[in-house]
Amino acid sequence: MPLTAASPLTELKGVGPVRARRLAAAGYRSVGSLLRHLPLRYEDRRRLSRVADVAGEGAHTLRGRVLDTRAVRVWRRGLSLVRGTLDDGSGRLPVVWFNRPYLAGQLDPESTYLLHGPVRRRGERLELVNPSCEAAEGAVHAAAVVPVYPAIGELGPAFLRRLFDALLEGFDPRRELADPLPEELRRRYDLPPLGEAVAALHRPGERADGEALNRRATAAHHRLVYGELLEMQLELGLRRRRVGERPKPHRYRLDAGVRRRLAGLAPFRLTGAQERVIGEILADLESPRPMRRLLQGDVGCGKTIVAATAMVAAAESGLQAALMAPTEILAEQHRRTLGALLGDRYRIGLVTAGAPGAAADRERLASGELDLVVGTHALVQEAVRFGRQGLAIVDEQHRFGVAQRQALTGKGEHTDLLVMTATPIPRSLALTLYGDLDVSLLDEMPPGRSPVRTEVRPVARREETYDWLEGRLAQGGRAYVVLPLIEESDAVEAASIERHGAELAERLSAFEPRIVHGRTPAEERARSLEEFAAGRSRVLIATTVIEVGLDVPAASLLVIENAERFGLAQLHQLRGRVGRGGGEPAHCVALHGELGEEGRRRLEVFAASRDGFEIAEADLELRGPGDLLGTRQAGLPALFLADLAAHRRWVERAHADARELLERRRDPAAAAVIERARRRAGRRSPEEGEARCVSC
């Protein structure tokens, strides 16, 4: 009987009621849905090796009997070993499996098996490690590029391969699967239709490029990757529209007088980029829709004045504006900067855990008495109420969770939102994380900046480095020294404030060093920073509390200890503390202890590149998107085949195309894809969708 997409899985050979229930538990009930369970990896079994010819490490496919299989006791919890010996007539090779105890009783010494896996060297001899293993007789695709499916419960790859064979025997996706993607988009990128792509991924065939398959770089992969990303971007676009549908209740009054005031705010001449971005923001504020904007700009490009201008626009319109920063130090600095810029025309409050007036300011905020408020995440706590909030700004947004961002806007109905970030996130990530925001880019540095000279040195050159630093300080320089730890630790070998910081303070005592870290009492910290900013102290010894935002233009020297312990983006942020327009060229020395391969690459990139976006791309490459992504946190579909680093060009395309589709949503082809994305978004529960292909 021919299968259709709607056929129940029990019609497949090998699927009885028990297995059907297992498959159903994973969300697979019909032939059509099971097809979405795509392989994540492939084994190239086209070349059968002979044991006698296996001379070194590498992946091999071998065929033979497996003798002497036995479970081996291991005294480590959570680990079990099975050992055996492969004999293919040409020679013998030891085999070891981890955590597959059942194999010991299953392998029949009289039968022939097909094994595929890496050969590794262990001491003198070679060993086949954790190979896949199936009976040669029933093995499908013995001489092919073989798909490896993610297990479904206890149903492993070998069973799933047989299952898909049975399925594809009776069902041809190329004929039976309709492609929901508008033809025009498929043509634009020369992508195969969905059915063809799905068929090619399940059965790559004899001439497939195994390497491209594993990089997910085949045309078939691109079709599915593009589909996933397009769906995600449509969903983000729909969210953005939802915000725009309801007009905001408050109005900004930006008449000529106010505009003159705004234009005269900065004590310096704005860069062209600053002018442009301020224009974009003011247009958003005047629009009846709430603003949802991301301001991206590398460290030191001058985001603060942009924020201040927007805040004054709110205050002049009789609305409250809030600025939230990730650290108390930064919030305090913003408070001072605003005070210096705006004088006492506005009432400005400070709400942080440590601020002495926080409780009073909270009340003045709720009563509407304050015009502007600066704070940390203390601003989003339950108890904080805004009397007449119009604008919320989040500085260094990447340091906050999505939840906190939402909580801040939740304080006022239809609040205008500006999020700022200096951590240049690669564009592919920005489009995903912030795809529901409009993006402004500050891509121009204020004049007179010279690039920070960066040197990476092994810790053996520490003495020499501090001799040099002393010399520069003696000539009037101002320096930060950054250490990774507060306390000495037995577990980690790295410089601490407690020991090394104290020694340094001693050595540099002529320059009135100050020490600041996460546990320094708020008042002492504020005083130290002020003294450093004013030049009474010339050295600030600190942990990464100074990582973001701190602005002391006269500081031009930076020493980072144990630089190998910091991420690339973090190093770039730290370096952003110097070279902020103090005149003399800035200088950064990164001292490092022992380096792994990745650490070495990281520091190389750091020394070689000044460009935040370049650094972010390299970081993504080195680390993978990992935590940076947080899409699940944002309630977005988990990506299955798509990889934001490897497929970044597709992210860009999907982003642009989703916008275009949403623009012309009356067109039936566009309406159909949008509707699909909307339905899927509505159906998704938080746990769902992790291991399942989102196939659009």
**Shorter beta-carbon distance to ligand ADP: residue 95 or 430:** 430
**Shorter beta-carbon distance to ligand ADP: residue 421 or 432:** 421
Contact status: 332 vs ligand ADP (CB under 6 A): no
With CB under 5 to 8 Å by kind, the binding choice for 375 among Mg ion, ligand ADP, none is none
- Neighbour-count burial for 594-627, b at 16+ CB within 10 Å, e otherwise: eeeeebeebbebbbebbebbebbbbbbeebebee
Q: The dihedral of CA 302, 307, 309, 312: what is its sign?
A: negative
Residue 431 CB neighbours (<10 A): 24
**Shorter beta-carbon distance to ligand ADP: residue 170 or 582:** 582
Residue number of the CB atom closest to ligand ADP: 302
Helices (H) and strands (E) counted in the chain, each on its own, are 25, 21
CB 112 within 8 A of CB 137: yes
With CB under 5 to 8 Å by kind, the binding choice for 302 among Mg ion, ligand ADP, none is ligand ADP
**Shorter beta-carbon distance to ligand ADP: residue 63 or 577:** 577
Find the farthest-apart pair of alpha carbons in the chain and give their distance in angstroms, rounded: 93
Owner of token pair 């045309």: 219
462, with CB counted inside 10 A (0-12, 13-18, 19+), is middle
Pick the piece of the chain touching ligand ADP (CB under 6 A) from 265-273, 361-369, 528-536, 656-664. 265-273
Candidates 84, 192, 290, 302; binder of ligand ADP (CB under 6 A) is: 302
Site for ligand ADP in 524-583 (CB under 6 A): 551, 553, 580-581
264, with CB counted inside 10 A (0-12, 13-18, 19+), is exposed
Contact status: 446 vs ligand ADP (CB under 6 A): yes
Separation between Cα atoms, residue 312 and residue 372, nearest integer Å: 8
- Neighbour-count burial for 530-557, b at 16+ CB within 10 Å, e otherwise: eebbeeebbbbbbbbbbbbbbbbebbbb
Q: Kindly report the CA angle at 580 between 532 and 335, in degrees rounded to 5?
A: 60
**Shorter beta-carbon distance to ligand ADP: residue 177 or 552:** 552
Site for ligand ADP in 395-424 (CB under 6 A): 422
Site of interaction with Mg ion (CB under 5 A): 549
- Could you give the dihedral angle defined by the CA atoms of residues 598, 599, 603 and 604, in that order, rounded to the nearest 10 degrees? -40
Interface pattern 222-261 for ligand ADP (x via CB under 6 A): ----------------------------------------
Amino acid in the structure at residue 479:
A
What's the closest the beta carbon of residue 623 comes to ligand ADP, in angstroms?
23
**Shorter beta-carbon distance to ligand ADP: residue 157 or 612:** 612
Pick the piece of the chain touching ligand ADP (CB under 6 A) from 50-58, 267-275, 462-470, 644-652. 267-275
**Shorter beta-carbon distance to Mg ion: residue 237 or 549:** 549
What's the closest the beta carbon of residue 277 comes to ligand ADP, in angstroms?
11
With CB under 5 to 8 Å by kind, the binding choice for 581 among Mg ion, ligand ADP, none is ligand ADP
CB 50 within 8 A of CB 115: no
The token pair that represents 21 in the structure block: 């229930």
**Shorter beta-carbon distance to ligand ADP: residue 150 or 446:** 446
What's the closest the beta carbon of residue 442 comes to ligand ADP, in angstroms?
7
With CB under 5 to 8 Å by kind, the binding choice for 390 among ligand ADP, Mg ion, none is none
Helix or strand or coil: residue 334? helix
What's the closest the beta carbon of residue 337 comes to ligand ADP, in angstroms?
8
> Which stretches of the chain bind ligand ADP, using CB under 6 A?
268-271, 274, 297, 299-305, 422, 446, 551, 553, 580-581
